[in-house]
Each structure stands twice: as structure tokens, then as C-alpha cells.
């Protein structure tokens, strides 16, 4: 649930409602109220304004709402501005060609890790990562490659948001320390059963983590090949970090 603080004004509530649609494909007004803590009467008022702007639409199922058509344009503008005019995708395409596996670029988004770009290799893989989909910013190579380089208070917020127990948070801290030491994260089956992944963080010119480059493949295909996949992924992450126009 998104924490909604009454001290904030209407603008904060509007943003909180929009953020909810990044986590759910469609919701009822009552569901939005439960998810955000905003009174349902206020939710209806904000939904009317957001629908007039094209930021929210009525879903195919009666009584439910979803992201509006204007968000498609916003997403495309984001891709052009923040992904360096297609350079990130071209580098991912090269990575996918080098490995014959799925390459993805993911960023932190609230308490989630969000997939914003993907390039497919020549071999098919079924997994939960495609542009626009997100996963909790906790477990799995992509999440931990980012989380390991965020401030301690941010890590605490993520653990609390996902209701990790004390024991789970302590185990996660050990994993994140290992990721920082190695410079990459690796996991098998953390998000999708039987799927192996390696992720290398991407940094901006200030040295702050902005995302991660990940290579994903079925576990049976990577036996004895992990070092090579890591090398290719690491090179792609370094290239993207060097992009002159990358977030600064």
C-alpha cells in the first residue's frame, strides 16, 4: 500500500493515484482508496480530472480504471529523453546478439524495479521482464544490483514497504554486501522459476546508480557459460554508464 499523508495537498494525492496505476493494470475507485489511503470521495474527484487530461481511462471492465492514452506519449518521451535517443536499446541489441539471450535495462521506480527496455536474443525465453512491467525492489539479480548501491535509509524503506521480516532483511543485507563487493548480482529462480539472471549496475556521472543491465536465460542453458555472459553484460553496463547524455 502506498502511504498517503493527509498533510500533503491535492497535487500529492493526484501523483499518488497515478503512481498506483504503475503497480496495478486496473483498479476500482474503492481499490485505489485502499491502496493509497485517500478517501474514496476524493479518489472520484481526482479520477474525473485525470480522465479529462487523458492520464486515466475507464477500463474495459465496468467500474474499473486504468492508465490513459496520454501515458503512452509520456512513456515514449521518457524513452527518448532518458534512454539517450535509442542508444540504450542499440547497446542492448548488441548484448543480446553477443549472448543469444534476453537483455534488459531496468531502473528503480518507487519500491519496485521497472523494466524500460528489452532486446531479445535468438533463443526464446519466457520471463516476467518486458517494458512497463515491474517487480519488487528486493530479491532477484536486477533488483539487488540496484538496491545494493542505494542509501541505507532507502534500503530500509524498501524492506518496510514489502513487509520483510527482520530475518529476511538481515539476509538481504548480507546479499547486498556481496553484490557491492563483486560489482554484480546473480540469481536463479528468484523471480521466474528456472530462469537465471546476471545484472550489472549502471551509474551516472555523479556515481549514483541509475539502473542495471541484465542478461536472462533458462538455467539449463547457462551451465558452464556464466562467466562469458557476465563479461558481455558488464561491458554493456560500462558502455551505457559512459553515455555522455545519460541522466546527470
pLDDT in tens, 112-167: 898 989 999 888 788 878 888 888 999 999 999 999 999 999 999 999 989 999 99
The model's pTM is 0.73
Residues 72 and 33: their CA atoms lie apart, in Å, by 24
At 223, the pLDDT band (50, 70, 90 cuts) reads confident
Cα separation of 73 and 126, whole Å? 27
pLDDT: is 3 or 144 the higher one? Answer: 144
Residue 86 has pLDDT above 50, yes or no: yes
The answer to whether the CB of 103 falls within 8 A of the CB of 236 is: yes
Q: Contact at 8 Å (CB) between 227 and 198?
A: no
Mean pLDDT of 30-41: 92
pLDDT value at residue 6 = 42
Q: Which pLDDT score, from 0 to 100, does residue 248 have?
A: 43
Sheet holding 56-58, edge to edge: 26-28, 64-67, 56-58
E strand map for 120-224: 134-136, 185-188, 195-203, 209-218
The backbone torsions φ and ψ at residue 183, rounded to the nearest 5 degrees and listed phi first, read 90, 5
Cα-only R_g, the chain: 19
User: Which residues have CB under 8 Å from 205's CB, separation 6+?
Assistant: 246, 248
Edge to edge, the sheet with strand 112-119 lists 134-136, 112-119, 102-109, 209-218, 195-203, 185-188
Residue 246 has pLDDT above 50, yes or no: no
- Residue 5 is predicted with a pLDDT of 42
Amino acid at each position: 500500500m502506498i502511504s498517503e499523508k493527509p498533510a500533503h495537498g491535492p497535487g500529492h494525492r493526484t501523483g499518488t493515484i497515478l503512481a498506483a496505476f504503475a503497480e496495478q493494470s486496473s483498479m476500482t475507485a474503492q481499490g485505489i482508496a485502499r491502496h493509497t489511503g485517500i478517501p474514496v470521495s476524493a479518489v472520484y474527484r481526482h479520477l474525473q480530472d485525470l480522465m479529462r487530461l487523458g492520464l486515466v481511462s475507464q477500463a474495459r471492465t465496468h467500474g474499473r480504471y486504468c492508465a490513459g492514452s496520454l501515458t503512452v506519449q509520456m512513456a515514449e518521451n521518457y524513452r527518448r529523453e532518458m534512454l539517450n535517443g535509442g542508444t540504450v536499446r542499440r547497446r542492448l541489441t548488441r548484448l543480446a546478439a553477443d549472448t543469444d539471450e534476453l537483455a534488459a535495462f531496468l531502473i528503480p521506480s518507487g519500491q519496485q524495479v521497472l523494466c524500460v527496455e528489452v532486446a531479445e536474443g535468438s533463443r526464446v525465453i519466457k520471463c516476467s521482464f518486458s517494458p512497463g512491467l515491474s517487480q519488487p525492489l528486493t530479491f532477484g539479480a536486477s533488483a539487488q544490483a540496484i538496491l545494493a548501491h542505494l542509501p541505507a535509509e532507502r534500503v530500509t524503506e524498501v524492506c518496510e514497504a514489502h513487509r520483510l521480516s527482520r530475518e529476511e532483511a538481515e539476509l538481504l543485507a548480507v546479499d547486498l554486501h556481496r553484490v557491492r563487493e563483486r560489482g554484480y548480482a546473480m540469481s536463479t529462480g528468484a523471480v521466474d522459476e528456472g530462469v537465471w539472471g546476471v545484472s550489472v549496475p549502471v551509474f551516472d556521472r555523479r556515481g549514483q546508480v541509475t539502473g542495471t543491465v541484465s542478461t536472462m536465460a533458462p538455467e539449463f542453458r547457462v551451465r558452464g557459460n556464466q562467466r562469458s555472459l557476465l563479461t558481455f553484460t558488464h561491458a554493456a553496463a560500462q558502455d551505457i554508464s559512459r553515455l555522455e547524455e545519460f541522466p546527470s
